[in-house]
Amino acid sequence: MATGWASGDASGYRQAIAANAAASWASTPSGQLALEMDKAGLLQPLGHCRLPGYEAKYDPKVKRSFCYPTQNASGWAVTP
């Protein structure tokens, strides 16, 4: 097990690799779409199922929640 300087160096290296991967992904079409959704204030509400007309329901079989539309759900404009 690394201690002291070696531990800090390894931790910093892992963080730099992760940051580089995130920056590379941000340049992809998916990353650009996510950026636009974030700028419009939609990314966090979508990711946490907090959009009007949608609700999270817990499924005890898989111990996870899933986001479902309600009767009041509306769609949004998309670029084909």
pLDDT reported for residue 22: 66
Note the residue count of the chain. Answer: 80
- Taking the C-alpha atoms of residue 75 and residue 71, their distance in angstroms, rounded to an integer, is 12
AA letter at 13: Y
State residue 54's pLDDT score. 93
pLDDT tens for the 80 residues of the chain, in order: 556 666 666 667 677 676 676 678 888 999 899 999 999 999 999 999 999 999 999 999 999 999 999 988 888 787 77
Kindly report each contact of residues 44-52 with a partner whose C-beta sits within 8 Å and lies 24 or more positions away, as own/partner: none
6: left (phi over 0), alpha (psi -120 to 50) or beta: alpha
Query: What is this structure's pTM?
Result: 0.58
Question: In angstroms, rounded to a whole number, what is the distance separating the alpha carbons of residues 19 and 71?
Answer: 41
